[in-house]
Structure 1
Amino acid sequence: MKICIVTTRHISYNPRVLKEADVFAAHGIDVSVVTVNNNAQQARFDEAMMKERKWRLVTVNFRREIKSEKLRWLFLSLQEKIFSVFSKFTYRYGVAERASLKGFSALARLAKNEEADFYIAHHAEALGIAYAAAKNKGVRFGFDAEDFHTGMSESGSPSDKDSLLSFLEGKYLPHAAYITAASKGIGEAYEKKYGLAKTTTILNVFPKEATTVTSADFPVKFYWYSQVIGPNRSLETLLEAASQIDAPYELHLRGSYCNDAYKEFLQTLIKQKNLQKKVFIHPPIVAERIITDASKYDVGLALETDVSYNRDVCVTNKIFSYLMAGLAIVGTDTYGQKDIFSHFKKAVLLCGKNNADELAQAMLYFIQHPEELTVAKRFAKEAAEERFNWEVESEKLLTLLEEKAGVLQQGPLVLK
């Protein structure tokens, strides 16, 4: 059997695709991943990760930083802008697809060239590509929702992008053989919005990894990470909470600044709060080093807010990286996080969203109670080893694929 995964991100920043491709390949499935190559640094990470992979990576290359690809980047950028203008008047005739993704047509050609028995789209922008390639081969496709893509606007009202993606999801999702979601809340949101049959939750967990759960360190080391260090990620609330704690501790943040303005803002805020000797900022790392790196700390911070509907219902992979690394967790009470935290309550202290006082109290509790912190760390690792790991979740995915493999011979898709 051959499977083609279509995504719109670099694989080094897309651990969900990596895990999916790896598990399929480990079970003897011929796997290809079709995606974009639009960032030189991320491409270097991709190359390093592919050295030990048993599947193929096929990319559309348009890195602005690479001289030989700059002209193509310019052409695709212009093309995207033109279709974005057209999308103000109509979404039909392939306009929405091309307005949603730079390099759509080139990516679609690569996907159609793959001789696959099944296609899987990751991200709503890839739906049209997976659908068209599947139709071309007379097979079916699935969709994986890592987020509720049309609920990501932080303005309080739907954006133009939300409207575009709503059109694409409404057009293609009813034809999917299955839909998986990264949290119960995300799946429920898709079911409700599009009247879909029940989705399958595949959590953003990690493969089992041997790490030693150590006793609470002194000073206690708190850890937060994300691909992006920027606004609406509770960092301002975190620094306010940290400034209230009159005790030894370290606060470690990992990620890339969204822009220079926010970098300056955050560094100024750290100085204003007199936290220069307590806050340490680290650059991003590839997905395969996340667990090992996290195991150096004591408490993982999962500080989601309800700044968007998606943020309220999602369950990010940082939670499961903390568990696998053997970290206790301080987390906020969003819908998605409360649901998942209920399965390992002894590893978590809960605090209110955007509530610096409650966050400070939770952090201080772990600082002042090192024995309870050590117990919480052990409960976290136990939860990861017994239930919240990729070995368990991947079996759900393989079973789902096996069940849907029977529809592969039903003939070509017809979009009405």
Structure 2
Amino acid sequence: MTRICIVTPSHVSFQPRALREADALHDAGYDVRVVSVRTDASLDAFDAELLRSRAWRLRAVDLTSETATQARRWTASARLRTAQRITAAGLGSRRMAAHAAVKGAGELAALVCAEPADLFIAHTQATLEAAFAGARRFDAAMAFDCEDLLGDGATREAAAMRTLEAAHVGSCVYVSVPSRAMGARLAARYPLADRLVVLENVPEIVPTSLVPPRARPRSGALRVHWFGQTAGLDRGLDDAARAIGLMRERGELHIVGLATDAVQLALREMAGAGASRVLFHPRISPDALIETVARYDAGIACERPDHPSYGVTLTNKIFGYLAAGLAVAATDTPGQRELLDETPDAGVIYPFGNAGALAQHLDRWARDRDALLRAQDAAWHAARRQYSWDVVRRRFLERIAAVTTGHVRVAAR
């Protein structure tokens, strides 16, 4: 049986691309193990819930405050900061860059090297060095899932990601990306040729019990939804909150994710008279995500067009809205225009920073429920014809079969 090790830098319950790949590979008959880093004790329950219904193995570097000693956590944080300063100054090796990219880099590499495998898949630039170490240890192949262009930017973290990306992309048997726009950006830097594969961020689990949009009860207010791991400012939610306050019709903004008291207060203040209609909800299990999203009418995909990564990607957020049958209001980024050019009836594009334009679109849906239903229907059908996990999974498994048929090893360095 072919053995595959997936390496991810964070809790697997909130790494949807790594999670769905592990599930797909296990279901296809591969021997799957996932290696990750745990840093947030509040997410452990989500990991535990997932594992109760999974048969693949998970091993993790534990740096949570619940179990890791204070000295161990302090050491990991200090090592991360020191490595980031050295890497940002243009000094140090790629191993130093690995320590600058993820806490517990050395322990992560050690865990990976304890997992015999035929293929190691690095999720994000942060795990490339660990995956390379495992591939070299077991004379195996390695691949790279480039979820985001984390090396683009002027931060210390970005400097480390650039170093790792440049060092290891050439050794990968394939590189996967979530959008054609991101693939084009990456292909302009490296000679990827036929090693590049687009694997969109479509949801893995879409309950068969979901009711199509036209069979759902109509609500009074237009219920607008946003979900993410963390809700913050200057990331587009500002426009969404202001739009709720500017709407002539009644609308509600429902935000699912971790939001501090300060963020909640700021967003409600931005909504002005609509402050009471900006509502916050706790994070939920990934397995329950689409069923929860389907309770709403429209979804906001408010990525910044000037962000080096989010501007060219297609997030799991926008595909979640499609799968749940929500009308989509998306900012005008190259990545999101790529999708809405192909499914124009599923939603609208609005300029980032223009809350008034967003409010006009939302008002139209609140006022004209037939227009809302047409957009919801288009989203529902696009998710089941073009953007389903069945389609993307087939593409993924075909690539895995192609690279594991023959024995490919990484070049020794």
TM-score by length of 1: 0.93
TM-superposed CA distance for 1:54, in Å, is 1.4
Match in the other structure for 1:202: 199
TM-superposed CA distance for 1:260, in Å, is 4.6
Which amino acid in the other structure matches residue 147 of structure 2? Answer: E
Map residues 6-405 of structure 1 onto 2, 5 A cutoff: 6-66=7-67, 68-87=68-87, 88=89, 90-92=91-93, 94-151=95-152, 153=153, 158-198=154-194, 199-207=196-204, 208-210=206-208, 211-215=210-214, 216-257=218-259, 259-270=260-271, 273-405=272-404
Q: Residues 198-244 of structure 1: CA distance to partner in whole angstroms, max 9, x if unpaired?
A: 41100000134321024443222111112111122212212222222
TM-superposed CA distance for 1:122, in Å, is 0.2
Q: Give the conservation status (yes or no) of the 8 Å contact 2:135–2:409.
A: no
TM-superposed CA distance for 1:110, in Å, is 0.5
Q: Secondary structure at the match of 2:32?
A: strand
Q: Give the conservation status (yes or no) of the 8 Å contact 1:91–1:164.
A: no
Q: Give the conservation status (yes or no) of the 8 Å contact 2:84–2:157.
A: no
Residues in 2 aligned to 1:339 and 1:196: alpha-carbon distance in whole angstroms: 21
Which amino acid in the other structure matches residue 414 of structure 1? Answer: A
Q: Give the conservation status (yes or no) of the 8 Å contact 2:34–2:58.
A: yes
Q: Give the conservation status (yes or no) of the 8 Å contact 1:119–1:134.
A: yes
Residues in 1 aligned to 2:219 and 2:164: alpha-carbon distance in whole angstroms: 49
TM-superposed CA distance for 1:63, in Å, is 0.8
Residues in 2 aligned to 1:34 and 1:236: alpha-carbon distance in whole angstroms: 36
Q: Secondary structure at the match of 1:376?
A: helix
Q: Secondary structure at the match of 2:273?
A: coil
Q: Say whether residues 1:413 and 2:411 are aligned partners.
A: yes
Q: Give the conservation status (yes or no) of the 8 Å contact 1:91–1:167.
A: no
Q: Give the conservation status (yes or no) of the 8 Å contact 1:232–1:307.
A: no
TM-superposed CA distance for 1:93, in Å, is 6.4
In structure 2, relative to structure 1, the CA distance for the partners of 1:204 and 1:283 (3 Å cut) is: same
In structure 2, relative to structure 1, the CA distance for the partners of 1:89 and 1:373 (3 Å cut) is: closer
Q: Residues 112-147 of structure 1: CA distance to partner in whole angstroms, max 9, x if unpaired?
A: 110111100001010001011101101110000111
Q: Give the conservation status (yes or no) of the 8 Å contact 1:80–1:98.
A: yes
TM-superposed CA distance for 1:70, in Å, is 3.0
Q: Give the conservation status (yes or no) of the 8 Å contact 2:6–2:123.
A: yes
Range moving further from structure 2, 339-348 or 393-402: 339-348
Q: Give the conservation status (yes or no) of the 8 Å contact 2:35–2:60.
A: yes
Which amino acid in the other structure matches residue 288 of structure 1? Answer: D
Say what the alpha-carbon RMSD is for the aligned residues.
Answer: 1.7
Sequence identity, in percent?
Answer: 28
Q: Give the conservation status (yes or no) of the 8 Å contact 1:138–1:413.
A: no
The answer for unaligned runs of 5 or more in structure 1 is none
Q: Residues 140-183 of structure 1: CA distance to partner in whole angstroms, max 9, x if unpaired?
A: 100001111123x4xxxx22322221111101111101000011
Which amino acid in the other structure matches residue 232 of structure 2? Answer: G
Residues in 2 aligned to 1:367 and 1:398: alpha-carbon distance in whole angstroms: 42
Residues in 2 aligned to 1:224 and 1:240: alpha-carbon distance in whole angstroms: 14
The answer for unaligned runs of 5 or more in structure 2 is none
Q: Secondary structure at the match of 2:151?
A: helix
In structure 2, relative to structure 1, the CA distance for the partners of 1:93 and 1:405 (3 Å cut) is: closer
Q: Residues 327-372 of structure 1: CA distance to partner in whole angstroms, max 9, x if unpaired?
A: 1111121100011112221111222222112111110110111012
Range moving further from structure 2, 243-252 or 25-34: 243-252
Range moving further from structure 2, 216-225 or 292-301: 216-225
Which amino acid in the other structure matches residue 274 of structure 2? Answer: L
Residues in 1 aligned to 2:276 and 2:233: alpha-carbon distance in whole angstroms: 22
Q: Residues 252-280 of structure 1: CA distance to partner in whole angstroms, max 9, x if unpaired?
A: 111112x554343224334xx12133221
Q: Give the conservation status (yes or no) of the 8 Å contact 1:127–1:169.
A: yes
Range moving further from structure 2, 283-292 or 302-311: 302-311
In structure 2, relative to structure 1, the CA distance for the partners of 1:96 and 1:212 (3 Å cut) is: same
Residues in 2 aligned to 1:387 and 1:93: alpha-carbon distance in whole angstroms: 39
Q: Give the conservation status (yes or no) of the 8 Å contact 2:343–2:382.
A: yes
Q: Secondary structure at the match of 2:303?
A: coil
Which amino acid in the other structure matches residue 122 of structure 2? Answer: A
